[in-house]
Amino acid sequence: MNARMSLSVAALAGLLVAGGCASGTPAPAAPAAPAAPAGKPAAAAPITQAPAGGAVKLAVVNPITGPNAQYGQQSVEGIKFAVEEINAAGGVLGKKLEFVVEDTASDKAQSVALVRRYGAQADVVALLGFASTGEFIPSSEAAAEAKVVAMSTSSAGVWPKEFNDWTFRDTTVSDRAIPAYLKLLKEKQNLKTLAVIYDSDNDFNAIETEFVKKEAPSQGLELLAVEAHRARDADFGPQLTRIMSRNPDAILIESRTNEAAAIIQQARQRGYKGHLLGSQTLADPTVFRLAGQAVDGVLIYQSFNLERDKTRDLNERWKKAFGGKSVSKENIQAYDAIYLLVDAMKRAGTTTDRQKIRDALGATKGFAGAAAEYTFNGKGDNATQHVYLFKMTKEGTYELVK
Beta strands in 114-172 (DSSP E): 124-129, 149-152, 167-169
DSSP H or E segment with residue 111: helix 108-119
Helix or strand or coil: residue 152?
A: strand
Q: Are 326 and 77 in contact (CB under 8 A)?
A: no
**How does pLDDT run across 375-393, given as a tens digit for each residue?**
999 999 999 999 999 999 9
Q: Do domains 3-171+311-381 and 175-302 have the same CATH topology?
A: yes
DSSP H or E segment with residue 212: helix 203-215
Q: Greater confidence, 238 or 306?
A: 238
Strand partners of residue 222: 193
Q: Using alpha carbons only, how large is the chain's radius of gyration in Å?
A: 21
Looking at residue 50, its pLDDT comes to 60
Beta strands in 188-304 (DSSP E): 193-199, 222-229, 250-254, 275-278, 299-302
Q: State residue 225 phi and psi, 5-degree precision.
A: -160, 145
Average pLDDT, whole number, for the chain? 88
Burial 389-401 (b: 16+ CB within 10 A, else e): bbbbeeeeebeee
Instruction: Give the separation between CA 121 and CA 125, rounded to whole angstroms.
Output: 9
Q: Are 217 and 252 in contact (CB under 8 A)?
A: no
Q: Greater confidence, 283 or 1?
A: 283
Domain boundaries, the chain: 3-171+311-381, 175-302
Instruction: Give the separation between CA 73 and CA 297, rounded to whole angstroms.
Output: 26
Alpha carbon of residue 290 to chain centroid:
20
Which residues contact residue 308 at a Cβ distance below 8 angstroms, ignoring those fewer than 6 apart? none
In the predicted model, is pLDDT for residue 179 greater than 80? yes
In the predicted model, is pLDDT for residue 332 greater than 50? yes
**DSSP code for 94:** T
Instruction: Give the separation between CA 253 and CA 263, rounded to whole angstroms.
Output: 8
Determine the residue type at 190: N
Of the candidates 139, 54, 49, the residue with the CA atom closest to the CA atom of residue 95: 54
Instruction: Give the separation between CA 27 and CA 18, rounded to whole angstroms.
Output: 8
Q: For the whole model, what pTM was predicted?
A: 0.84
Instruction: Give the separation between CA 321 and CA 315, rounded to whole angstroms.
Output: 10
In the predicted model, is pLDDT for residue 255 greater than 70? yes
Lowest mean pLDDT among 111-115, 165-169, 359-363, 385-389: 385-389
Return the biggest CA–CA distance within the chain.
Answer: 66
**How does pLDDT run across 197-229, given as a tens digit for each residue?**
999 998 889 989 999 999 999 999 999 999 999
Q: State residue 212 phi and psi, 5-degree precision.
A: -60, -45
Distances (CA, A) of 199 to 113, 155, 401: 27, 17, 27
3-171+311-381: CATH class: alpha beta
Of the candidates 254, 245, 307, 346, the residue with the CA atom closest to the CA atom of residue 264: 254
End-to-end CA distance of the chain: 31
Looking at residue 329, its pLDDT comes to 92
Of the candidates 363, 278, 377, 378, the residue with the CA atom closest to the CA atom of residue 329: 278
175-302: CATH class: alpha beta
